[in-house]
Chains A and B, each alone.
Chain A
Amino acid sequence: MKKKLITLSLATALAFPLFAEKAPINLEFPPPFLSGTPVPINLPNLESPDAPQPEIMAPADIENIAYEKEVTSSDDFPIIGELELVTDGDKESEEGYFVELAQGLQWVQIDLEEPATLYGIGVWHFHTQKRAYVDMVIQVSNDPEFEEGVTTIFNNDHDNSAGFGVGKDMAYIETNKGKLINAKQATGRYVRLYSDGNTSNEMNHYVEVEVFGVY
């Protein structure tokens, strides 16, 4: 009798959770905390907190073949600076070293003068402030109008707002180290770089673009 009682009690105890009323777990949402005027963050030497630059294997004597090459743009009359600044070899981000294009999706295009095999592209948009450039797409082609034979080597347009398809590359925060992009040995005479503003404002900027390739 005693054994039966114990067994019944155990069975009841074990079965109880199965029949107990269930309720959704209510997550606590802490309310906002009030804070004072944000302290300005100054980053005079903006160092990259990001992942290290990719290691790209290329011929030992490879050069920046974009140096002082002609640059054209979707914005013929930049707001600040000249298009020549994109390939002049200066990578400073202070005034006088960058070109500012109008808002919206804009591009700069470098004419390498001859088709070349490209191994890497270095990009410095603007690095006196912590910011990331939006809808950054880099393409290579032999067609100056980029209507035929276009190879896309970088695309961080994750929502397809630029219309080149959904990009899988990660957005990144600009630094003085620039961004080295693997060109995957794409071939072409023209390199076109798109952007649609940045996280600070709607404008588009270029300090320098380097193209590492061989003719």
Chain B
Amino acid sequence: MVGVAATLRHRDAHFRMYHADEGVQSYQAWRLIEEGDYRYDPAEHHGPLLYFATEWAAPFLKDEAGALSDASMRRIPMAFSLVTLLFGVLLLRRYGSGAALLWGSICAIAPLAVIYGAYYIQESLLAFFTLAALYSLFRYLEKGTWPSSLALGSSLGLMHVTKETGWIHFLAMVIAATLLLVVSRSRLARGVNLKLVATHAAAGLAIVAALHVLFFSSFFSHPSGIVDGVVSFFHYAERSQGQGHEKPFLFYLSFFLPRTLEGIAWGELFLLMAIAGGAGAALYFDRKAKTEAARFRLFVCLFSLVLVLLYSLIPYKNPWLLLTPYLGLAYVAASGVMRLSELTLKGRRLGVALATVATALCLGELWIRCDLAVNRYASASRNPYLYVHTTPRYERLLERLDRLERAYGRETLALGVYAPDGAWPLPWHLRDWESVGYWRTVDERPELDLEIFDTRLLDAVEMGGDDEALWELHGLRPNTLLALRVTKPFDRALIQREE
């Protein structure tokens, strides 16, 4: 299972273009690795852990020439994704081996888990720490011990230094825990030592605070980051209103519903049916059950549904935010399918056959979608799992620049990039170029031998009337094109001569 998951994620890293956000994150990590400097920005780019984790792992990411690459950067989220899968299955076994294995199988091949399990952003790390916190919180509700409280504090602290949305995850956990205490008979519900709980909570919060100070101050090199780490919540509260990323309330549900995009069928209907069945069973049967396994199923179900609800209520939406709730919903689905196996009819084990069919349908549908999303349409705008993704033809632009570089040498070429949003991930891919500059407008254009324009800054008349240069259009993202302008004689390197 882990082997299949690793293969899909590794293969995915080769087929899928680098996203603009991956470029931005990689650039910051690269600067930390190369220059040893990182300062937390409260207005943008999330928590510091991803960059430091990359710096610590840098010796394992660099090739023989000491260079980083798109594929090597993606090893960081990939590692967290695989560890989530491995430890998840091992921990979930105590509540039912069948459900644990099916959960692992779903997470191994589900397109959303595969894509964002190998995507150089914070989401894969956040999912791992969230599931660790969720398990720790449940164990604390059951046992109320020091180890579980310290594990919860550590997980929560790591969520916090990974991404600010970790607190939305924690809020969902608290709501789920409250509901669980109301309807079930966990240890805390039967009477607690409030003083001890307060001591545990204080210790957990102390760990969170310590991690906050360490990471947001860049290990004491930028003390202002300690305050910035708190100020950032005001920025993100404002951003949650959408800022161009507003989506309808049912956006996350739409991933499961059948639909076609540019002629290709998508949807995870069988998994949605399994989720609905599993959630129904957990909410109806497990609230009455008195086993730890039943309480765990109910807790995960409540957490997942509340988290999806919270994310759906926030106007700002994009596919990768669904990763953590998706992993929770996958367990709800797996539990629901396994519950089918307990059904009997006139003494016959009818349920085993039903569960087998349901498993085959869920995994079969996910496998088909995964092949489309990860392989055939790995960077396509018709892939619903992607968001404002870099188009496949962006690679052609990189190839053209590489060709020019090989023909004339990097020291000969001066490149200007004119784009209102930086044309990411281009700066990441041009990080080793010395004579490259970035401008938001064409107002101060120095007219260099090589220029790349976001076509929003141009009109076709300008391109058409230029006899002194060769122009090429290249895709960057859906509805965003770049125009490469190459002055003579450099354009000769691009024109193919007939033999």
Contacts and interface: CB of A to CB of B under 8 A. Distances in A.
Interface of A: 27-43, 49-51, 79-81, 95, 100, 129-132, 134, 158-161, 163, 166, 170-173, 197-202
A132 B391 CA distance: 13
A120 to B, nearest CB: 19
A32 B427 contact: yes
B283 interface: no
A100 B263 contact: yes
A132 B471 CA distance: 13
A31 B431 CA distance: 10
A172 to B, nearest CB: 6
Nearest to B481: A199
Contact of B381 (A29, A36, A200): A200
Interface of B: 20-21, 24, 27-28, 41, 44-45, 243-245, 260, 262-264, 318, 379-381, 387-388, 391-393, 414, 417, 421-422, 424, 427, 435-440, 446, 448, 455, 459-461, 463-464, 470-475, 477-481, 494-498
A161 B393 contact: no
A177 to B, nearest CB: 13
B491 to A, nearest CB: 8
Contacts of A201: 379-381, 391-393, 475
B471 A32 contact: no
B41 A29 contact: no
Contacts of A200: 380-381, 391-393, 475, 478
A51 B393 contact: no
Contacts of B20: 35, 37-38
Given A100-B263, A199-B474, A34 B480 contact: no
> Which one of B27, B393, B455 has the greatest number of beta carbons of chain A within 10 Å?
B393
Contact of B245 (A32, A37, A171): A37
Contacts of B24: 34-36
Contact of B414 (A27, A31, A173): A27
Contacts of A132: 473, 481
Contacts of A38: 20, 388, 421, 424, 477, 480
10 contacts: A37-B318, A38-B477, A50-B461, A81-B263, A129-B381, A158-B470, A158-B472, A160-B498, A171-B472, A202-B392
Contact of A35 (B263, B424, B463): B424
Given A35-B424, A38-B477, A172 B438 contact: no
Contacts of B318: 37
Nearest to B495: A159
A30 B260 CA distance: 43
Contact of B478 (A30, A41, A81, A173): A41
A29 B463 contact: no
Nearest to A81: B263
Given A95-B263, A200-B475, 11 more contacts: A27-B414, A31-B437, A34-B27, A39-B245, A80-B262, A130-B478, A171-B471, A173-B473, A198-B475, A200-B391, A201-B380
Contacts of B497: 160
B495 A170 contact: no
Nearest to A27: B446
> Which one of A29, A42, A80, A161 has the greatest number of beta carbons of chain B within 10 Å?
A29
B358 to A, nearest CB: 31
Given A40-B387, A80-B262, A171-B473, A32 B27 contact: yes
B435 A29 contact: yes
B32 to A, nearest CB: 13
B27 to A, nearest CB: 7
B422 A43 contact: no
A32 B495 CA distance: 30
Nearest to A43: B479
Contacts of A129: 381, 478-479
A151 to B, nearest CB: 20
B464 A51 contact: yes
B136 to A, nearest CB: 31
Contacts of B381: 129, 200-201
